[in-house]
Amino acid sequence: MSTLQALVDAVALGSIYALVAVGIGLVFGVLRLINFAYGELITAGAYTLWVLRSLPAVVAILACFAVVVSLSLLLERVAFRPLRKATPATMLIATFAVSYLLQSIYLLVFGSLGNSVSTLAGLQQAVDLGGLRIRWITIVSLACGSLLLIGTAILLGRTSIGLHMRAAATDFQTARVLGVRANRVIAFAFLVSGVLAASVSVLFTVQNSLVTPDLGVPITIFALVGVVVGGLDRLWTATLGGFAIGFAYSLLGDKLSGEARVYLPSLVFGLVIVVLLLRPGGLFAGQPRSVERV
Amino acid sequence: MPDAMLELEGLEVRYGVVAAVRALDLRIERGELVGLIGPNGAGKSSTLLAIMGVVPVARGEVRLRGVSITGRAPEAIARAGISLVPEGRHIFAGLTVEENLRLGRAARRDANGVEADLRRVYGLFPAIAGSLSRQGSALSGGQQQQLAIARALLARPDVLLLDEPSLGLAPTVVESVFAALEEVRAQGVTILLVEQRAQVTVSTADRTYVLANGELRLSLTPADANDTARLAAAYLS
């Protein structure tokens, strides 16, 4: 029964990492930019929840979404749009710069010691389902993760802006020649990725209430690793990769106990190396990619 | 003097220190079909890309209906009324034919008449009408070219730019593509056609210009279509 419980927890954590992977993948699709500052959006949402902890949860969560989405759009407008014609390396370095800048701001404003978020703390309570003790946050994470992923899929597959985003992700120049507005599509990708980041802020802080300036860094790194493992060229492979990394992290964490848990990240990354050696194109990519580096 | 739909004045396009197009003057009247031919590297595609805003204009001006569009973004130029059928078709292989056509409507200035326009392109290209749910990648080369033209027409452009629409197509398919272009012209669309097939272009277009080394060398009329010596001399000049 313990294994089943671990599986349920793993699926819940996997769905959170899948959301992060989609958030990163959407921006990558239209800009070919891996946004390393994505985790700092999640941290911004977490601090918003902490600052507004005395207000009703609904108000705090709505404010969290407003702050994260606004910050995401602001970064696009102020930091990334002026560099759009720069080399990919310059863009990548810019995301690191933004990431460190935001972390430093969080450090200055909120200090290095963690702040505990209590919004929706009631979701930590467990419910008994056929002998399984499942926390409400696990169920909520699963439900929200699934709904958001389905919503994103519908947005991309059934709407005009979604079609424009898919076209831009395939061949941005041709899409622009056809009249697809670059600024609108890119801003929309940042908007949706902001919504996903805010959702992760809420779900993650319920599971791990301590908010520190570098909260988003490991989340982003693990999700990015998942994106690479899944395959960066398509959104659904990246999503599956994100899910797989969260799933593996949770399951391995369940098997390790006590002091051995400090080796969990090393184990996960070791597993990633094995996967990439066996399938360099990604776990879910169709054709293995052969790239000459030397 | 008739209305000028598209004007190029002293157009210059550069890739670094290399001038691909030099001091090009061109005037296309409303409803005309004008050809642009020349050897590889003559600057034909660069001219179209500069009109469309895909490559920057180093010097000179591009005017649509008398209004300068120089320096505008490609999407703004598309929305102003110019559609490009790019070399190599550039259809979205992973999207369905229907989705490719929907993308063609991105530049429309109004949503009225979409159904009528769809019927019109289905009439021009019946094979497209029967393949709406197929992936773009599942179409033959000729069908992909038809789709690229159909997609451009759904923007309801005033000016249609075509970059080598016959490239890689069988002769019978080329004939059908040129027949469709004549119908499009008959519907009042101004066309600037870049082609390698000199003879068919000269015979179809109202006027054809020969470009070499980025400069305009010669102007031909349909009467010159069978003057192969003149055509060859223009290419080799």
Contact between A193 and A242 under an 8 Å Cβ cutoff? The reply is no
Select the residue of B90, B106, B108 nearest A180 (Cβ to Cβ): B106
Contact between A276 and A285 under an 8 Å Cβ cutoff? The reply is no
Nearest CA in chain B to A173: B54
Residue B96 pLDDT > 70: yes
pLDDT score recorded for residue B102: 95
Neighbours of A112 (CB within 10 A): 10
Domains in chain B: how many in total? Answer: 1
Q: How many angstroms separate the CA atoms of B149 and B162, rounded?
A: 8
- b/e per residue A231-257 (b: at least 16 CB within 10 A): bbbbbebbbbbbbbbbbbbbbbbbeee
Helix (H, G, I), strand (E, B) or coil at B13: strand
β-pairing, B33-37 vs B207-212, is parallel
B interface with A, Cβ–Cβ below 8 Å: 52, 54, 73-75, 78-79, 83-84, 86, 90, 92-95, 99, 102-104, 106-108, 151-152, 155
Residue A133 pLDDT > 60: yes
Query: What is the arithmetic mean of pLDDT over B89-103?
Result: 94
The packing angle between helices A38-51 and A2-31, to 10°, is 120
Closest CA relative to residue B104, chosen from B155, B160, B143: B155
Q: Which residues of B touch A164 (CB under 8 A)?
A: 103, 106
Dump pLDDT digits (tens) for B28-45. 999 999 999 998 889 999
pLDDT score recorded for residue A293: 40
* Sign of the torsion angle spanned by Cα atoms A242, A246, A247, A249: positive
Query: What is the arithmetic mean of pLDDT over A170-195?
Result: 95
pLDDT score recorded for residue A7: 85
pLDDT score recorded for residue B237: 63
Residue A162 pLDDT > 90: yes
Contact between B106 and A180 under an 8 Å Cβ cutoff? The reply is yes
Q: Which residues of A touch B75 (CB under 8 A)?
A: 176-182
Q: Which residues of A touch B90 (CB under 8 A)?
A: 171, 174
Contact between B204 and B46 under an 8 Å Cβ cutoff? The reply is no
Query: What is the arithmetic mean of pLDDT over A125-130?
Result: 84
Contact between A199 and A23 under an 8 Å Cβ cutoff? The reply is no
pLDDT score recorded for residue A247: 87
Are the Cβ atoms of B99 and A180 closer than 8 angstroms? no
Residue A103 pLDDT > 90: yes
* Global ipTM: 0.92
β-pairing, B207-212 vs B215-220, is antiparallel
Dump pLDDT digits (tens) for A207-265. 888 999 999 999 999 898 888 888 776 788 888 888 888 888 888 888 887 788 888 88
pLDDT score recorded for residue A85: 85
Q: How many angstroms separate the CA atoms of B214 and B12, rounded?
A: 9
pLDDT score recorded for residue A49: 96
Alpha-carbon torsion, ordered A53, A56, A58, A60, to 10 deg: -30
- b/e per residue A15-35 (b: at least 16 CB within 10 A): bbbbbbbbbbbbbbbbbebbb
Alpha-carbon torsion, ordered B127, B132, B136, B138, to 10 deg: -70
Query: What is the arithmetic mean of pLDDT over B81-87?
Result: 96
Categorize the per-residue pLDDT at B2 as very low, low, confident or very high, splitting at 50, 70 and 90: low
Are the Cβ atoms of B104 and A181 closer than 8 angstroms? no
Categorize the per-residue pLDDT at A291 as very low, low, confident or very high, splitting at 50, 70 and 90: very low
Dump pLDDT digits (tens) for B163-209. 999 888 888 888 888 999 999 999 999 999 999 888 899 999 999 99
Helix (H, G, I), strand (E, B) or coil at B163: strand
Categorize the per-residue pLDDT at A286 as very low, low, confident or very high, splitting at 50, 70 and 90: low
Residue A294 pLDDT > 50: no
pLDDT score recorded for residue B1: 55
Neighbours of A185 (CB within 10 A): 24
pLDDT score recorded for residue A287: 59
Contact between A232 and A99 under an 8 Å Cβ cutoff? The reply is no
SS (H, E, C) chain A: CHHHHHHHHHHHHHHHHHHHHHHHHHHHHHHCCCCCCHHHHHHHHHHHHHHCCCCCHHHHHHHHHHHHHHHHHHHHHHHHHHHCCCCHHHHHHHHHHHHHHHHHHHHHHHCCCCEECCCCHHHHCEEEECCEEEEHHHHHHHHHHHHHHHHHHHHHHHCHHHHHHHHHHHCHHHHHHCCCCHHHHHHHHHHHHHHHHHHHHHHHHHHCCEECCCCHHHHHHHHHHHHHHHCCCCHHHHHHHHHHHHHHHHHHHHHCCHHHHHHHHHHHHHHHHHHHHHCCCCCCCCCCCCCCCC
Show the domain range for B9.
Answer: 4-236
Dump pLDDT digits (tens) for A184-199. 999 999 999 999 999 9
Are the Cβ atoms of A176 and B73 closer than 8 angstroms? yes
pLDDT score recorded for residue A292: 45
Q: How many angstroms separate the CA atoms of A63 and B6, rounded?
A: 51
Categorize the per-residue pLDDT at B225 as very low, low, confident or very high, splitting at 50, 70 and 90: confident
pLDDT score recorded for residue A288: 52
Dump pLDDT digits (tens) for A27-79. 988 888 889 999 999 999 999 999 999 999 999 999 999 999 999 999 999 99
Contact between A191 and A73 under an 8 Å Cβ cutoff? The reply is yes
Chain centroid, CA B58 distance in Å: 21
The packing angle between helices A2-31 and A235-255, to 10°, is 150
Query: What is the arithmetic mean of pLDDT over A109-118?
Result: 92
Mean pLDDT (chain B) is 92
Q: Domain holding B62: CATH number?
A: 3.40.50.300
